[in-house]
């Protein structure tokens, strides 16, 4: 799993993921994502276009991120899911639970 972190503007972070998100890589993602939910952060965007596979541990990582976002003022946004990853969210009935947008650019345009 390749993980890149960029602060696009003050308080707005993009975490770009590439590769498989499974039991062996989810802890890395969690370790990169969790510290971003802090005072001053307004949005954490997870760029998923490069994620080729996600299992239940990957979903659980994003649920943890959602819980962290609800404890702070930061909005968690999932961006750029491919059809295979989106299907997993659909099967888990989580499509409506998360804020999901087609691209990182769309997420940045949300003004959050």
Is 65 part of a structural domain of the chain?
A: yes
pTM for the structure as a whole: 0.93
Is 67 part of a structural domain of the chain?
A: yes
Backbone φ, ψ for residue 50 (5° rounding): -90, 0
* Average pLDDT value for residue range 97-101: 95
Residue 111 has pLDDT above 70, yes or no: no
Average pLDDT taken over every residue of the chain: 94
The total domain count for the chain is: 1
What CATH number should be reported for the domain holding residue 10? 3.30.750.24
Is 110 part of a structural domain of the chain?
A: no
Number of residues assigned to the chain? 112
Question: Tens of pLDDT along 55-88?
Answer: 999 999 999 999 999 999 899 999 999 999 999 9
For residues 84 and 73, give the distance between their C-alpha atoms in angstroms, rounded to a whole number: 30
Domain extent at residue 64: 2-105
For residues 30 and 10, give the distance between their C-alpha atoms in angstroms, rounded to a whole number: 21
């Amino acid at each position: 799993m390749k993980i890149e972190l960029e602060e696009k503007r003050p308080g707005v972070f993009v975490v770009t993921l590439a590769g498989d998100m499974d039991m062996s890589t989810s802890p890395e993602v969690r370790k990169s994502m969790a510290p971003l939910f802090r005072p001053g952060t307004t949005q954490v965007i997870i760029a998923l276009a490069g994620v080729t596979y996600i299992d239940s541990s990957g979903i659980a990582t994003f649920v943890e991120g959602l819980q962290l976002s609800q404890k702070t003022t930061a909005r968690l946004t999932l961006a750029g899911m491919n059809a295979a990853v989106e299907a997993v969210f659909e099967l888990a009935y989580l499509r409506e639970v998360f804020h999901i947008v087609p691209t990182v650019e769309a997420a940045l345009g949300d003004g959050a």
